[in-house]
Amino acid sequence: MGLAAFQSPGRFYRGNIHTHSTRSDGALTPDFVCKAYAEKGYDFLCLSDHFLEQYGYPVVDTATYRTESFTTILGAELHAPENSQKELWHILACGLPGDFAPLGEGETGVDLARRAVEAGAFVGIAHPQWSSLTIEDGRALAGIAHTVEIYNTGCDVENVRGDGTYLLDQLLSEGHRLTGYAADDAHFKTPDAFGGWMMVKAEDNTPEALLAAMKAGQFYSSRGPVIEDISIDGETLRVRSSPVSGACIVGRGSRAVYRGAPGMVEADLPLERFAGDWCRVMVMDETGRQAWSNPIHL
Ligand SMILES: [Zn+2]
Ligand SMILES: [Zn+2]
C-alpha cells in the first residue's frame, strides 16, 4: 500500500477530506470554505459537516464549487453511540451520496461506518487521540474502515492531541490492513486550516478517480515536505523528497531506523528490522513538519 502512490499511474492531487462549515459548527459558509481551499492551491476538498439531527443530517452539496482545477467530494463526519469513552463515535466518510439516510433507530457507530462503506465512502477513524480511542475502539472499526486519521490540524493546534499513528501502528501489528491520512478538521475559529493534507495519486481530479485511489492506498500525507518517491531494492529502502533534515522507518514495537543530514533529498534506510512485517516511512524538515507514507507490508 505504501508504495502504491509511487507505482501507480497519474499525478498527485492535494486535498483535505475533513472540514466543517456553517452547515454544522464551522464559522464559514460552504462557499467560503471551498473558495479558501481552492485559493490555497488545493486540488480537492471534502466538506464533512457533522451528520447530526441538530444540523439536519447534512451531506452538503458542494458540486457547484467545482472548477476546472478544483473538485469537491461529498461527505460528512458521522456520529452514533458509542465508543469506549461513552461518547459518540466520530467517523469520517468521504464520498457519500447526497441522500445518505439519517441515523436509524438503534444504529451504532460500527453499523453506521459499515453503511457508509456500502454507500461508496472512503471511511476513516477520526482524531483517535483527541477522542482517547483505545485499541478496542480501533478493533471495532478495523475490519470496516479504510483508514485512520494520523494527523488532525485542529486537534494539534487546540489541544496538542493531533496524532493518530499510535492507534494505526497497534492495529497494523495485530494484522489489520489500514492506511493513514492527515486532515485539517478546520472549523475556521482558530488557525486550524491548511496544516495537514493528503497527496493522492490519481489519473484525474474527479471524485470517482480520487476515491478509488484513496481506497487503493495511492496517497501519502504531509504537513509540508514532498515525498518524490519511495522504492525498495533488496534490503534497502530509498526515499527521495524535498529538502528535509531527516528520514525514518518505524515498525512493530520500538523498531525504527533514522538517517539525517541538513538539506537531505535522498536517504537509503535498511529494512532488515522490518522483514516479513509492516513499516511506515516519514521525512521530517527542519521546522518539525513531517510527511508520512502509508504502511508498507514487506
Ligand atoms: Zn470529530
Ligand atoms: Zn470534524
pLDDT in tens, 248-291: 999 999 999 999 999 999 999 999 999 999 999 999 999 999 99
The answer to whether 62 and 45 have CB atoms below 8 angstroms apart is yes
Ligand 2 centroid–CA 48 distance in Å is 7
| Total-model pTM | 0.97
Statement: residue 210 has pLDDT above 70: yes
Ligand 2 centroid–CA 68 distance in Å is 27
Ligand 2 centroid–CA 178 distance in Å is 20
227/80 Cα distance (integer angstroms) = 36
- Residue position matching grid coordinates 515498525: 251
Ligand 2 centroid–CA 9 distance in Å is 31
* Average pLDDT rounded to a whole number, residues 218-223: 98
Ligand 1 centroid–CA 106 distance in Å is 21
For CATH 2.60.40.10, list the domain ranges present in the chain.
227-297
Ligand 2 centroid–CA 263 distance in Å is 35
User: pLDDT tens for residues 35-81?
Assistant: 999 999 999 999 999 999 999 999 999 999 999 999 999 999 999 99
Name the closest ligand to CA 184: 2
Domain 227-297 has CATH 2.60.40.10: yes
* Average pLDDT rounded to a whole number, residues 132-152: 98
Looking at residue 2, what is its pLDDT? 79
Ligand 2 centroid–CA 124 distance in Å is 11
The answer to whether 42 and 19 have CB atoms below 8 angstroms apart is no
Ligand 1 centroid–CA 77 distance in Å is 7
The answer to whether 69 and 42 have CB atoms below 8 angstroms apart is no
Ligand 2 centroid–CA 76 distance in Å is 9
User: Can the peptide bond before residue 82 be classed as cis, meaning omega within 30 degrees of 0?
Assistant: yes
Strands 179-183 and 50-51: unpaired
97/81 Cα distance (integer angstroms) = 22
* Residues in the 5 Å CB sphere of ion ligand 2: 77, 185
What is the grid cell recorded at 67? 472548477
The answer to whether 139 and 104 have CB atoms below 8 angstroms apart is no
User: pLDDT tens for residues 76-107?
Assistant: 999 999 999 999 999 999 999 999 999 999 99
For CATH 3.20.20.140, list the domain ranges present in the chain.
4-222
Secondary structure class of 271 (helix, strand, coil) = coil
Ligand 1 centroid–CA 85 distance in Å is 14
Phi, psi of 203, deg, nearest 5: -75, -30
User: pLDDT tens for residues 157-206?
Assistant: 999 999 999 999 999 999 999 999 999 999 999 999 999 999 999 999 99
- Homologous superfamily assigned to 4-222: Metal-dependent hydrolases (3.20.20.140)
Ligand 2 centroid–CA 248 distance in Å is 29
Instruction: Give whole-number Cα distances, 111 to 20, 90, 238, in Å.
Output: 23, 13, 41
66/38 Cα distance (integer angstroms) = 9
Q: 46, 92, 94, 33: which is closest to 72 by C-alpha?
A: 46
277/274 Cα distance (integer angstroms) = 5
Name the closest ligand to CA 125: 1
Statement: residue 1 has pLDDT above 80: no
**Burial tier of 294 (Cβ tally within 10 Å: 0-12, 13-18, 19+):** buried
What is the grid cell recorded at 278? 509492516
Name the closest ligand to CA 47: 2
Q: Which residues pair with 233 in a beta bridge?
A: 236
Statement: residue 232 has pLDDT above 80: yes
Ligand 2 centroid–CA 173 distance in Å is 27
